[in-house]
Protein backbone atom coordinates (compact mmCIF):
# COMPACT_ATOMS: atom_id res chain seq x y z
CA UNK A 1 0.00 0.00 0.00
CA UNK A 2 1.47 3.34 -1.11
CA UNK A 3 1.21 6.02 1.57
CA UNK A 4 -0.25 9.37 0.57
CA UNK A 5 1.02 11.08 3.74
CA UNK A 6 4.69 10.07 3.80
CA UNK A 7 7.48 8.52 1.75
CA UNK A 8 8.06 4.72 1.70
CA UNK A 9 9.02 3.15 5.02
CA UNK A 10 12.66 2.34 4.19
CA UNK A 11 13.30 5.34 1.95
CA UNK A 12 17.00 6.23 1.78
CA UNK A 13 17.26 9.93 2.62
CA UNK A 14 20.70 11.48 2.35
CA UNK A 15 23.17 13.54 0.40
CA UNK A 16 25.77 13.07 -2.32
CA UNK A 17 29.34 14.25 -2.83
CA UNK A 18 32.31 13.07 -4.91
CA UNK A 19 35.87 12.36 -3.84
CA UNK A 20 37.43 14.74 -6.35
CA UNK A 21 35.18 17.63 -5.29
CA UNK A 22 35.45 17.17 -1.53
CA UNK A 23 38.45 15.17 -0.30
CA UNK A 24 41.47 17.23 -1.30
CA UNK A 25 44.75 15.65 -0.11
CA UNK A 26 45.43 15.09 -3.80
CA UNK A 27 49.00 13.83 -3.35
CA UNK A 28 48.94 12.55 0.25
CA UNK A 29 49.42 8.99 1.49
CA UNK A 30 50.38 7.61 -1.89
CA UNK A 31 47.48 9.00 -3.92
CA UNK A 32 48.24 9.62 -7.58
CA UNK A 33 46.78 12.43 -9.71
CA UNK A 34 43.42 12.03 -11.43
CA UNK A 35 42.22 14.02 -14.42
CA UNK A 36 40.63 16.59 -12.09
CA UNK A 37 43.97 17.36 -10.49
CA UNK A 38 45.30 18.63 -13.80
CA UNK A 39 42.29 20.91 -14.44
CA UNK A 40 42.17 24.41 -12.98
CA UNK A 41 38.76 25.48 -14.27
CA UNK A 42 36.61 22.39 -13.94
CA UNK A 43 35.88 19.35 -16.04
CA UNK A 44 33.80 21.18 -18.68
CA UNK A 45 36.14 24.04 -19.58
CA UNK A 46 39.40 22.43 -18.55
CA UNK A 47 42.13 21.17 -20.88
CA UNK A 48 44.73 18.72 -19.64
CA UNK A 49 48.13 20.35 -19.45
CA UNK A 50 51.42 18.58 -19.96
CA UNK A 51 52.32 18.97 -16.30
CA UNK A 52 50.65 20.13 -13.11
CA UNK A 53 51.95 23.60 -12.21
CA UNK A 54 53.04 23.59 -8.54
CA UNK A 55 52.58 27.37 -8.36
CA UNK A 56 49.02 27.44 -9.71
CA UNK A 57 45.73 26.99 -7.85
CA UNK A 58 43.82 23.79 -8.62
CA UNK A 59 40.45 23.51 -6.85
CA UNK A 60 40.59 19.74 -6.31
CA UNK A 61 44.00 19.78 -4.60
CA UNK A 62 42.51 20.86 -1.29
CA UNK A 63 38.78 21.00 -2.14
CA UNK A 64 37.03 21.24 1.27
CA UNK A 65 39.60 18.98 2.97
CA UNK A 66 37.06 16.22 3.62
CA UNK A 67 40.01 13.81 3.76
CA UNK A 68 41.07 15.28 7.11
CA UNK A 69 37.68 16.59 8.31
CA UNK A 70 35.35 13.73 7.42
CA UNK A 71 34.48 12.95 11.06
CA UNK A 72 33.25 16.50 11.61
CA UNK A 73 31.25 16.42 8.39
CA UNK A 74 29.76 12.96 8.97
CA UNK A 75 28.62 14.13 12.41
CA UNK A 76 26.76 16.99 10.73
CA UNK A 77 25.17 14.58 8.23
CA UNK A 78 24.11 12.38 11.13
CA UNK A 79 22.60 15.41 12.87
CA UNK A 80 20.41 15.92 9.81
CA UNK A 81 19.36 12.27 10.12
CA UNK A 82 20.93 10.92 6.92
CA UNK A 83 20.08 7.31 6.16
CA UNK A 84 22.79 7.18 3.47
CA UNK A 85 25.66 9.15 1.98
CA UNK A 86 26.59 8.80 -1.64
CA UNK A 87 30.27 9.39 -2.29
CA UNK A 88 32.97 7.91 -4.50
CA UNK A 89 36.24 6.08 -4.08
CA UNK A 90 39.12 7.91 -5.73
CA UNK A 91 40.57 5.27 -8.05
CA UNK A 92 44.02 6.90 -7.88
CA UNK A 93 43.97 6.69 -4.09
CA UNK A 94 43.79 2.90 -4.43
CA UNK A 95 45.91 2.50 -7.58
CA UNK A 96 47.91 5.73 -8.00
CA UNK A 97 48.54 5.21 -11.72
CA UNK A 98 45.61 2.90 -12.32
CA UNK A 99 47.65 0.07 -13.83
CA UNK A 100 49.62 -1.24 -10.81
CA UNK A 101 49.42 -4.85 -9.69
CA UNK A 102 49.12 -4.05 -5.99
CA UNK A 103 46.90 -1.44 -4.30
CA UNK A 104 47.92 1.39 -2.02
CA UNK A 105 47.17 0.31 1.56
CA UNK A 106 46.93 3.87 2.90
CA UNK A 107 44.18 4.64 0.40
CA UNK A 108 42.26 1.51 1.31
CA UNK A 109 42.55 2.35 4.99
CA UNK A 110 41.11 5.83 4.48
CA UNK A 111 37.88 4.40 3.07
CA UNK A 112 37.78 1.79 5.83
CA UNK A 113 37.87 4.67 8.29
CA UNK A 114 35.27 6.70 6.39
CA UNK A 115 32.82 3.80 6.03
CA UNK A 116 33.26 2.86 9.68
CA UNK A 117 32.44 6.43 10.66
CA UNK A 118 29.32 6.45 8.50
CA UNK A 119 28.10 3.11 9.81
CA UNK A 120 28.74 4.20 13.39
CA UNK A 121 26.13 6.90 12.80
CA UNK A 122 23.70 4.55 11.03
CA UNK A 123 24.49 5.98 7.58
CA UNK A 124 24.69 3.53 4.66
CA UNK A 125 27.55 4.21 2.21
CA UNK A 126 26.34 4.45 -1.40
CA UNK A 127 29.52 4.22 -3.44
CA UNK A 128 30.30 5.31 -6.98
CA UNK A 129 33.33 3.39 -8.23
CA UNK A 130 34.44 5.92 -10.86
CA UNK A 131 33.15 9.49 -10.51
CA UNK A 132 34.90 11.68 -13.11
CA UNK A 133 38.29 10.82 -11.58
CA UNK A 134 40.09 8.51 -14.00
CA UNK A 135 43.75 8.28 -12.98
CA UNK A 136 45.71 10.79 -15.05
CA UNK A 137 48.27 8.17 -16.06
CA UNK A 138 45.55 6.09 -17.76
CA UNK A 139 44.63 9.05 -19.93
CA UNK A 140 48.14 10.09 -20.89
CA UNK A 141 49.64 6.62 -21.29
CA UNK A 142 46.67 4.67 -22.70
CA UNK A 143 44.25 7.23 -24.11
CA UNK A 144 41.57 6.58 -21.52
CA UNK A 145 38.63 4.25 -22.14
CA UNK A 146 39.25 4.04 -25.89
CA UNK A 147 41.88 1.50 -24.83
CA UNK A 148 40.63 -2.01 -24.06
CA UNK A 149 43.34 -2.44 -21.42
CA UNK A 150 41.37 -0.25 -19.02
CA UNK A 151 38.76 -3.00 -18.66
CA UNK A 152 41.31 -5.21 -16.91
CA UNK A 153 42.65 -2.33 -14.79
CA UNK A 154 39.14 -1.41 -13.67
CA UNK A 155 38.20 -5.00 -12.94
CA UNK A 156 41.29 -5.40 -10.73
CA UNK A 157 40.35 -2.20 -8.89
CA UNK A 158 36.78 -3.46 -8.36
CA UNK A 159 37.92 -6.83 -7.05
CA UNK A 160 40.15 -5.13 -4.48
CA UNK A 161 37.48 -2.76 -3.16
CA UNK A 162 34.69 -5.36 -3.18
CA UNK A 163 36.77 -7.76 -1.10
CA UNK A 164 37.96 -5.00 1.23
CA UNK A 165 34.55 -3.44 1.90
CA UNK A 166 32.26 -6.44 1.50
CA UNK A 167 30.95 -6.10 5.06
CA UNK A 168 30.52 -2.32 4.84
CA UNK A 169 29.02 -1.35 1.48
CA UNK A 170 25.98 -2.90 -0.17
CA UNK A 171 24.93 -0.13 -2.58
CA UNK A 172 27.27 0.48 -5.51
CA UNK A 173 27.26 2.31 -8.84
CA UNK A 174 29.75 1.91 -11.66
CA UNK A 175 30.42 5.05 -13.70
CA UNK A 176 29.03 8.45 -12.80
CA UNK A 177 26.78 9.96 -15.48
CA UNK A 178 28.04 7.53 -18.08
CA UNK A 179 25.92 9.14 -20.80
CA UNK A 180 28.07 12.27 -20.57
CA UNK A 181 30.34 10.38 -22.94
CA UNK A 182 28.64 12.45 -25.64
CA UNK A 183 28.96 15.88 -24.06
CA UNK A 184 31.89 15.67 -21.62
CA UNK A 185 33.95 12.65 -22.79
CA UNK A 186 37.01 13.68 -20.77
CA UNK A 187 34.99 13.45 -17.55
CA UNK A 188 32.97 10.35 -18.39
CA UNK A 189 35.56 8.34 -20.27
CA UNK A 190 38.93 9.94 -19.69
CA UNK A 191 39.32 10.60 -23.41
CA UNK A 192 40.53 13.69 -25.25
CA UNK A 193 38.92 13.97 -28.67
CA UNK A 194 41.90 15.18 -30.66
CA UNK A 195 40.62 14.00 -34.07
CA UNK A 196 37.15 15.39 -34.96
CA UNK A 197 36.75 12.83 -37.73
CA UNK A 198 36.99 10.00 -35.18
CA UNK A 199 34.81 11.65 -32.53
CA UNK A 200 31.83 9.28 -32.63
CA UNK A 201 34.02 6.24 -33.31
CA UNK A 202 36.05 6.99 -30.18
CA UNK A 203 32.99 7.78 -28.07
CA UNK A 204 31.16 4.58 -28.92
CA UNK A 205 34.26 2.38 -28.71
CA UNK A 206 35.03 3.79 -25.27
CA UNK A 207 31.38 3.29 -24.34
CA UNK A 208 31.59 -0.37 -25.31
CA UNK A 209 34.60 -0.82 -23.05
CA UNK A 210 32.66 0.86 -20.23
CA UNK A 211 29.75 -1.55 -20.79
CA UNK A 212 32.08 -4.55 -20.63
CA UNK A 213 33.76 -3.19 -17.50
CA UNK A 214 30.36 -2.54 -15.89
CA UNK A 215 29.18 -6.07 -16.55
CA UNK A 216 32.47 -7.53 -15.28
CA UNK A 217 32.15 -5.45 -12.11
CA UNK A 218 28.56 -6.60 -11.58
CA UNK A 219 29.65 -10.22 -11.99
CA UNK A 220 32.40 -9.74 -9.40
CA UNK A 221 30.05 -7.99 -7.00
CA UNK A 222 27.54 -10.83 -7.08
CA UNK A 223 30.30 -13.35 -6.45
CA UNK A 224 32.07 -11.43 -3.67
CA UNK A 225 29.16 -9.68 -1.90
CA UNK A 226 25.96 -11.71 -2.38
CA UNK A 227 22.95 -9.47 -1.88
CA UNK A 228 24.76 -6.25 -2.73
CA UNK A 229 23.24 -4.13 -5.50
CA UNK A 230 24.97 -2.61 -8.52
CA UNK A 231 23.39 0.40 -10.16
CA UNK A 232 24.12 2.31 -13.32
CA UNK A 233 24.16 6.11 -13.14
CA UNK A 234 23.08 8.62 -15.78
CA UNK A 235 22.47 12.34 -16.13
CA UNK A 236 18.78 12.55 -17.01
CA UNK A 237 17.77 16.21 -16.85
CA UNK A 238 14.87 16.32 -19.29
CA UNK A 239 14.65 17.69 -22.86
CA UNK A 240 11.33 18.94 -24.30
CA UNK A 241 10.62 19.77 -27.95
CA UNK A 242 10.80 23.54 -28.46
CA UNK A 243 7.55 23.39 -30.42
CA UNK A 244 4.97 20.86 -31.59
CA UNK A 245 6.55 20.85 -35.06
CA UNK A 246 7.08 17.16 -35.88
CA UNK A 247 10.77 17.76 -36.66
CA UNK A 248 11.33 19.28 -33.22
CA UNK A 249 9.44 16.44 -31.56
CA UNK A 250 11.23 13.61 -33.32
CA UNK A 251 14.71 15.12 -33.16
CA UNK A 252 14.20 15.68 -29.42
CA UNK A 253 13.20 12.01 -29.14
CA UNK A 254 16.37 10.97 -30.95
CA UNK A 255 18.46 13.25 -28.72
CA UNK A 256 16.93 11.67 -25.62
CA UNK A 257 17.85 8.24 -26.96
CA UNK A 258 21.50 9.30 -26.99
CA UNK A 259 21.25 9.25 -23.20
CA UNK A 260 18.91 6.28 -22.85
CA UNK A 261 21.21 4.25 -25.10
CA UNK A 262 23.43 3.82 -22.05
CA UNK A 263 20.70 2.67 -19.69
CA UNK A 264 19.23 0.48 -22.44
CA UNK A 265 22.50 -1.46 -22.65
CA UNK A 266 23.20 -1.50 -18.90
CA UNK A 267 19.67 -2.43 -17.80
CA UNK A 268 18.35 -4.47 -20.73
CA UNK A 269 21.71 -6.17 -21.23
CA UNK A 270 21.93 -5.67 -24.98
CA UNK A 271 22.47 -3.04 -27.64
CA UNK A 272 19.15 -1.53 -28.77
CA UNK A 273 18.05 -1.96 -32.37
CA UNK A 274 18.19 1.80 -33.05
CA UNK A 275 21.95 1.71 -32.39
CA UNK A 276 22.43 -0.26 -35.64
CA UNK A 277 21.35 2.75 -37.69
CA UNK A 278 23.54 5.15 -35.69
CA UNK A 279 26.57 2.94 -36.25
CA UNK A 280 25.79 2.39 -39.93
CA UNK A 281 25.17 6.04 -40.82
CA UNK A 282 28.27 7.29 -39.01
CA UNK A 283 30.61 4.54 -40.16
CA UNK A 284 31.18 3.27 -36.62
CA UNK A 285 32.75 -0.17 -36.36
CA UNK A 286 33.08 -1.42 -32.79
CA UNK A 287 35.86 -3.78 -31.82
CA UNK A 288 33.84 -6.35 -29.87
CA UNK A 289 35.73 -9.31 -28.48
CA UNK A 290 34.26 -12.83 -28.16
CA UNK A 291 32.18 -13.08 -25.01
CA UNK A 292 31.57 -9.34 -24.62
CA UNK A 293 27.91 -9.37 -25.59
CA UNK A 294 27.23 -12.49 -23.55
CA UNK A 295 28.80 -10.87 -20.47
CA UNK A 296 26.76 -7.69 -20.93
CA UNK A 297 23.58 -9.76 -21.32
CA UNK A 298 24.27 -11.92 -18.26
CA UNK A 299 25.07 -9.11 -15.83
CA UNK A 300 22.76 -6.07 -16.18
CA UNK A 301 22.56 -3.45 -13.44
CA UNK A 302 20.14 -3.93 -10.55
CA UNK A 303 18.82 -0.36 -10.38
CA UNK A 304 19.16 3.00 -12.10
CA UNK A 305 20.58 6.01 -10.30
CA UNK A 306 20.34 9.36 -11.99
CA UNK A 307 20.95 13.07 -11.59
CA UNK A 308 18.23 15.61 -12.27
CA UNK A 309 18.74 19.37 -12.09
CA UNK A 310 16.77 21.11 -14.81
CA UNK A 311 15.05 20.87 -18.17
CA UNK A 312 15.64 22.49 -21.54
CA UNK A 313 14.04 22.59 -24.98
CA UNK A 314 15.41 21.47 -28.33
CA UNK A 315 14.76 22.79 -31.84
CA UNK A 316 15.57 20.65 -34.86
CA UNK A 317 18.95 21.40 -36.38
CA UNK A 318 20.39 23.33 -33.45
CA UNK A 319 23.87 22.47 -32.08
CA UNK A 320 23.89 19.90 -29.29
CA UNK A 321 25.86 21.11 -26.27
CA UNK A 322 25.92 20.02 -22.66
CA UNK A 323 27.46 20.56 -19.27
CA UNK A 324 27.29 18.80 -15.91
CA UNK A 325 23.61 19.76 -15.58
CA UNK A 326 22.67 18.07 -18.86
CA UNK A 327 21.89 19.17 -22.40
CA UNK A 328 21.83 22.95 -22.97
CA UNK A 329 19.09 24.02 -25.34
CA UNK A 330 16.66 26.91 -25.73
CA UNK A 331 14.85 28.69 -22.90
CA UNK A 332 11.45 27.55 -21.74
CA UNK A 333 9.30 30.68 -21.18
CA UNK A 334 7.23 28.88 -18.54
CA UNK A 335 10.13 28.36 -16.14
CA UNK A 336 12.18 30.58 -13.82
CA UNK A 337 15.95 30.19 -13.45
CA UNK A 338 18.57 29.93 -10.73
CA UNK A 339 21.16 32.68 -10.38
CA UNK A 340 23.43 30.46 -12.49
CA UNK A 341 20.87 30.34 -15.29
CA UNK A 342 19.62 26.79 -14.76
CA UNK A 343 15.84 26.44 -15.35
CA UNK A 344 13.83 25.20 -12.35
CA UNK A 345 11.41 22.43 -13.38
CA UNK A 346 10.21 20.23 -10.49
CA UNK A 347 7.56 18.46 -12.56
CA UNK A 348 10.32 17.37 -14.91
CA UNK A 349 11.62 15.13 -12.12
CA UNK A 350 8.26 13.36 -11.92
CA UNK A 351 8.30 13.06 -15.71
CA UNK A 352 11.73 11.42 -15.73
CA UNK A 353 10.83 8.97 -12.95
CA UNK A 354 7.81 7.79 -14.92
CA UNK A 355 9.73 7.72 -18.18
CA UNK A 356 12.46 5.55 -16.68
CA UNK A 357 10.27 3.23 -14.62
CA UNK A 358 7.93 2.57 -17.55
CA UNK A 359 10.94 1.73 -19.73
CA UNK A 360 12.87 -0.54 -17.36
CA UNK A 361 10.65 -1.59 -14.41
CA UNK A 362 13.68 -1.52 -12.14
CA UNK A 363 14.17 0.47 -8.93
CA UNK A 364 15.07 4.15 -9.25
CA UNK A 365 17.45 6.10 -7.02
CA UNK A 366 17.63 9.89 -7.38
CA UNK A 367 21.28 10.28 -6.46
CA UNK A 368 21.76 13.92 -7.50
CA UNK A 369 19.32 16.81 -7.30
CA UNK A 370 20.25 20.21 -5.99
CA UNK A 371 20.26 23.98 -6.22
CA UNK A 372 23.45 25.96 -6.80
CA UNK A 373 23.29 29.53 -5.52
CA UNK A 374 25.26 32.28 -3.80
CA UNK A 375 25.17 32.41 -0.01
CA UNK A 376 24.44 35.70 1.73
CA UNK A 377 25.64 35.68 5.34
CA UNK A 378 23.45 37.97 7.45
CA UNK A 379 24.63 40.47 10.03
CA UNK A 380 23.75 37.94 12.73
CA UNK A 381 25.88 35.27 11.04
CA UNK A 382 22.97 33.22 9.68
CA UNK A 383 22.36 32.09 6.10
CA UNK A 384 18.68 32.24 5.17
CA UNK A 385 18.66 30.16 1.98
CA UNK A 386 14.90 30.17 1.38
CA UNK A 387 15.32 29.69 -2.38
CA UNK A 388 17.19 26.43 -1.77
CA UNK A 389 14.46 25.24 0.57
CA UNK A 390 11.80 26.10 -1.99
CA UNK A 391 13.65 24.14 -4.69
CA UNK A 392 13.97 21.16 -2.33
CA UNK A 393 10.29 21.28 -1.38
CA UNK A 394 9.06 21.53 -4.95
CA UNK A 395 11.16 18.60 -6.17
CA UNK A 396 10.33 16.34 -3.24
CA UNK A 397 6.61 16.98 -3.72
CA UNK A 398 6.89 15.94 -7.37
CA UNK A 399 8.98 12.93 -6.35
CA UNK A 400 6.20 11.89 -3.99
CA UNK A 401 3.77 12.22 -6.88
CA UNK A 402 5.98 9.89 -8.92
CA UNK A 403 5.75 7.34 -6.09
CA UNK A 404 1.96 7.73 -6.18
CA UNK A 405 2.18 7.09 -9.93
CA UNK A 406 3.66 3.68 -9.12
CA UNK A 407 7.36 4.36 -9.59
CA UNK A 408 9.59 2.31 -7.28
CA UNK A 409 11.93 4.89 -5.74
CA UNK A 410 14.73 3.67 -3.46
CA UNK A 411 15.85 7.01 -2.12
CA UNK A 412 16.94 10.60 -2.64
CA UNK A 413 20.38 12.12 -2.08
CA UNK A 414 20.65 15.91 -2.33
CA UNK A 415 23.68 16.94 -4.33
CA UNK A 416 26.22 18.72 -2.20
CA UNK A 417 24.71 18.64 1.31
CA UNK A 418 27.92 20.46 2.21
CA UNK A 419 29.43 23.05 -0.14
CA UNK A 420 31.98 21.45 -2.44
CA UNK A 421 33.99 22.38 -5.54
CA UNK A 422 31.86 22.62 -8.68
CA UNK A 423 32.75 19.80 -11.07
CA UNK A 424 31.94 21.80 -14.17
CA UNK A 425 33.77 25.05 -13.47
CA UNK A 426 35.90 24.51 -10.38
CA UNK A 427 34.01 27.17 -8.43
CA UNK A 428 33.28 27.28 -4.71
CA UNK A 429 30.93 30.26 -4.93
CA UNK A 430 28.27 28.12 -6.61
CA UNK A 431 26.97 26.58 -3.40
CA UNK A 432 24.61 23.63 -3.05
CA UNK A 433 25.04 22.78 0.61
CA UNK A 434 22.90 22.84 3.70
CA UNK A 435 26.32 23.45 5.30
CA UNK A 436 28.39 26.47 4.29
CA UNK A 437 32.17 26.06 3.91
CA UNK A 438 34.31 29.17 4.28
CA UNK A 439 36.29 29.06 1.07
CA UNK A 440 36.16 31.16 -2.10
CA UNK A 441 36.94 30.64 -5.77
CA UNK A 442 40.62 31.47 -5.27
CA UNK A 443 41.00 28.98 -2.42
CA UNK A 444 40.97 31.54 0.37
CA UNK A 445 39.14 30.90 3.63
CA UNK A 446 39.25 29.05 6.92
CA UNK A 447 37.20 26.01 5.78
CA UNK A 448 34.94 26.59 8.79
CA UNK A 449 31.59 24.76 8.53
CA UNK A 450 28.36 26.66 9.25
CA UNK A 451 24.74 25.43 9.14
CA UNK A 452 22.31 27.22 6.85
CA UNK A 453 18.58 27.62 7.45
CA UNK A 454 17.97 24.67 5.10
CA UNK A 455 19.96 22.37 7.42
CA UNK A 456 17.18 22.20 10.01
CA UNK A 457 14.42 22.01 7.40
CA UNK A 458 15.98 18.96 5.71
CA UNK A 459 16.45 17.45 9.16
CA UNK A 460 12.73 17.81 9.81
CA UNK A 461 11.80 16.33 6.44
CA UNK A 462 13.93 13.25 7.11
CA UNK A 463 12.76 12.91 10.75
CA UNK A 464 9.11 12.82 9.63
CA UNK A 465 9.81 10.76 6.48
CA UNK A 466 8.41 13.63 4.45
CA UNK A 467 5.19 14.02 6.46
CA UNK A 468 5.95 17.61 7.51
CA UNK A 469 6.43 18.63 3.88
CA UNK A 470 3.29 16.88 2.62
CA UNK A 471 1.20 18.25 5.48
CA UNK A 472 2.44 21.77 4.79
CA UNK A 473 1.31 21.39 1.18
CA UNK A 474 -2.10 20.04 2.21
CA UNK A 475 -2.58 22.93 4.62
CA UNK A 476 -1.56 25.42 1.92
CA UNK A 477 -3.96 23.85 -0.59
CA UNK A 478 -6.78 23.95 1.97
CA UNK A 479 -6.13 27.61 2.79
CA UNK A 480 -6.06 28.52 -0.88
CA UNK A 481 -9.31 26.66 -1.55
CA UNK A 482 -10.95 28.40 1.42
CA UNK A 483 -9.81 31.81 0.17
CA UNK A 484 -11.10 31.12 -3.34
CA UNK A 485 -14.52 30.16 -1.98
Q: Show which residues are catalytic.
A: 368
Evaluate the CA torsion angle 93, 152, 127, 205 in order and state its sign.
Answer: positive
What does the H/E/C string look like for the chain? CCCCCCCCCCCEEEEECCHHHHCCCCCCCCCCCEHHHHCCCHHHHCCCCCCCCCCCCCHHHHCCCHHHHHHHHHHHHHHHCCCEEEEECCHHHHCCCCCCCCCCHHHHHHHHHHHHHHHHCCCEEEEEEECCCCEHHHHHHHCHHHCCHHHHHHHHHHHHHHHHCCCCCCEEEEECCHHHHCCCHHHHHCCCCCCHHHHHHHHHHHHHHHHHHHHHHHHHHHHHCCCCEEEEEEECCEEEECCCCHHHHHHHHHHHHHHHHHHHHHHHCCCCCHHHHHHHHCCCCCCCCCCHHHHHHHCCCCEEEEECCCEEEECCCCCCEEECCEEECECCCCCCECCCCCECCHHHHHHHHHHHHHHHCCCEEEEECCCCECCCECCCCCECCHHHHHHHHHHHHHHHHHHHCCCCEEEEEEECCECCCCCCCCCCCCECCCEEECCCCCCCCCCCEEECHHHHHHHHHHHCCCHHHHHHHHHHHHHHHHHHC
* 449 DSSP β-pair partners: 437
Q: How far apart are CA 331 and CA 123, in angstroms?
A: 39
Q: How far apart are CA 389 and CA 40, in angstroms?
A: 31
Taking residue 119's Cβ as centre, other Cβ atoms within 10 Å add up to 14
Closest CA to 461 of 3, 14, 2, 4: 14
Amino acid sequence: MISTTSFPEHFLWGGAIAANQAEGAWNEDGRGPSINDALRHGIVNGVLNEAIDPNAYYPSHEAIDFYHRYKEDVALFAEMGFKCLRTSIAWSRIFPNGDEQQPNEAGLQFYDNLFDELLKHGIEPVITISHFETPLHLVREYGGWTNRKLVAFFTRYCEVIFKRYKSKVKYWMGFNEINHMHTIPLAAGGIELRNPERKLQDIYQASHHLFVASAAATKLLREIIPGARMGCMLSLSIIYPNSCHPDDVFETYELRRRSLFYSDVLLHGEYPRYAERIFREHGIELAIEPGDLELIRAYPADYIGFSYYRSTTHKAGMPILGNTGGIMGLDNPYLTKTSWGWPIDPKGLRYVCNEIYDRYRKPIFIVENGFGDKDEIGADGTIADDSRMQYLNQHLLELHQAIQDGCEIMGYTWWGPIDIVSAGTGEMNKRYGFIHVDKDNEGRGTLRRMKKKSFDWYRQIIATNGEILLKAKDDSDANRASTEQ
